[in-house]
Amino acid sequence: MGIAMSLRSPASLWRRLVLLCLGLLLQGLTTSAMAQEGRLRVWLVLSEPGGAYAELSRSVQAGLGRNVDLQTVVHAGREENWFQPVRPGDLVVPLGLKATRAAVQLDPAIPVLATLLPRQAYETLLAGGISPRRLFSALVLDQPLERQLGLIRLVLPKAERVGVLLGPNTLAQQTELTRAGQQAGFDLSIEAVTKPSDIFAAQRELLRDNEVLLALPDPQVLNQGTLMSYLVSAYRARVPVIGFSQSFTEAGALASVFSTPEQIGRQLSEIVTGMANGRAARPARLIYPRYFKVYVNRQVARSLELDIAPDDRLQKQLEAKEGQAL
């Protein structure tokens, strides 16, 4: 009887098969949605599609775990293309100043963790009327002053007097710089300038009284129009310059400590993973790079008759010193 009924009702069997497939599909979608609920959705917003932004993006993607739902977009000045789907509970990670300026316009309840921007740009945004409810942190490009002074101690172990030229963007660091210099055992001479016409007179004062110059990233002091003259003046006076980037050192500084986009991306992925795992609900406001490289201009070192250890050894020595300080 049952066999006869089945033979006479193929449409009934088909309906049951369709309902079974729909049930399995809904079960799969429900399971996927439940899995998504436990993941932190992160919006990685690039100011530009290539260059350092793309390199850092690849580093972040390689370092994140499965508990992060990563969405990568390019800002390109069109906020509406990515603003709309961002929700409270998400984390927005802008790369570069353009994307950061857009990100801080989001709902203050949405945390923003910016990177690939200098400390000065971050502090300017903070002072520009951002809502006090805004959760706004930055992993900046600048190296901690202690690390830069530590490099001076390694490459010029007998140096005691360090000259620093500050401009409008770095003047606020004067107290911090003085304290770091004292802790490192240096006698710091600081000259502050407010306009480009005063730069080289101030540098001459520093060259007369100091054994080394520490250059800080301030575009109103060191830029395309002043950089080469600054380096040539120091070279002629046989006073080495410690800089803040590989290109700066290649142009004529003695040495620099800096972080690559890949290294910044590595640290960024660690911070985001910690947030996703619940180990860190909110990062510190100002975050300095953890990973870094040292680069020495060997031609300048030879000209100044300086015998300096290999770059990788200097890097390991700085890392060891910072590890001891923790």
Residues 6+ apart with CB under 8 A from 109: 88, 133
Structural domain includes residue 94:
yes
66-123 confidence digits (pLDDT tens): 889 999 988 866 655 677 789 988 999 999 999 999 999 888 889 999 999 999 999 9
Q: Are residues 184 and 136 in the same domain?
A: no
Q: Are residues 168 and 309 in the same domain?
A: yes
Q: Are residues 80 and 153 in the same domain?
A: no
- Residue span of the structural domain in which 195 resides: 145-258+292-325
Which one-letter DSSP state was computed for residue 194? Answer: S
Q: Are residues 165 and 310 in the same domain?
A: yes
Collapse the DSSP code of 152 into the 3-class scheme (helix H, G, I; strand E, B; otherwise coil) and give the result. helix
Q: Are residues 210 and 314 in the same domain?
A: yes
pLDDT band at 11 (very low <50, low <70, confident <90, very high): low
Which has the higher per-residue pLDDT, 305 or 78? 305
Q: Are residues 78 and 191 in the same domain?
A: no
105-125 in b/e form (b: 16+ CB < 10 A) is ebebebbbbbbbbbbbbbbeb
**CB hemisphere CA count around 214 (13 angstroms):** 34
Please say if the pLDDT value at position 30 is more than 80: no
DSSP 199-211: HHHHHHHHHHH-S
Please say if the pLDDT value at position 18 is more than 70: no
Element (H, E) at 283: none
What pLDDT is recorded for position 175? 96
Q: Are residues 281 and 312 in the same domain?
A: no
Check if the beta carbon of residue 71 is closer than 8 Å to that of residue 90. Answer: no
Please say if the pLDDT value at position 315 is more than 80: yes
What pLDDT is recorded for position 36? 46
Structural domain includes residue 254:
yes
- The count of structural domains within the chain is 2
Please say if the pLDDT value at position 280 is more than 90: no
Structural domain includes residue 11:
no
Check if the beta carbon of residue 45 is closer than 8 Å to that of residue 82. Answer: yes
What pLDDT is recorded for position 4? 40
What pLDDT is recorded for position 39? 87
Structural domain includes residue 96:
yes
Structural domain includes residue 109:
yes
Collapse the DSSP code of 294 into the 3-class scheme (helix H, G, I; strand E, B; otherwise coil) and give the result. strand
Amino acid at 241: V
pLDDT band at 27 (very low <50, low <70, confident <90, very high): very low
199-249 confidence digits (pLDDT tens): 999 999 999 999 999 999 999 999 999 999 999 999 999 999 999 999 999
Q: Are residues 307 and 249 in the same domain?
A: yes
**Residue 299 Cα distances to 156, 254, 302, 315, angstroms:** 16, 9, 5, 19
Structural domain includes residue 164:
yes
Q: Are residues 317 and 201 in the same domain?
A: yes
Q: Are residues 119 and 221 in the same domain?
A: no
Taken in order 227, 230, 234, 240, the sign of the CA dihedral is: negative
What pLDDT is recorded for position 292? 98
Q: Are residues 82 and 221 in the same domain?
A: no
Total-model pTM: 0.84
What pLDDT is recorded for position 6? 41
Average pLDDT of the chain is: 87
What pLDDT is recorded for position 8? 46
What pLDDT is recorded for position 127? 87
What pLDDT is recorded for position 19? 44
SS3 readout for the chain: CHHHHHHHCHHHHHHHHHHHHHHHHHHHHHHHHHHHHCCEEEEEEECCCCHHHHHHHHHHHHHCCCCEEEEEEECCCCCHHHHCCCCECEEEEEECHHHHHHHCCCCCCCCEEEECCCHHHHHHHHCCCCCCCCCEEEECCCCCHHHHHHHHHHHCCCCCEEEEEECCCCHHHHHHHHHHHHHHCCEEEEEECCCHHHHHHHHHHHHHHCCEEECCCCCCCCCCCCHHHHHHHHHHCCCCEEECCHHHHHCCCCEEEECCHHHHHHHHHHHHHHHHCCCCCCCCCEECCCCCEEEECHHHHHHCCCCCCCHHHHHHHHHHHHHHHC
Q: Are residues 191 and 298 in the same domain?
A: yes
Q: The domain spanning residue 208 has which CATH number?
A: 3.40.50.2300
Structural domain includes residue 20:
no
What pLDDT is recorded for position 84? 77
Helices (H), 237-297: 246-250, 261-276
Which range is least confidently modeled, 7-21, 90-104, 176-190, 308-322? Answer: 7-21
Structural domain includes residue 114:
yes
Check if the beta carbon of residue 137 is closer than 8 Å to that of residue 103. Answer: no
Amino acid at 64: L
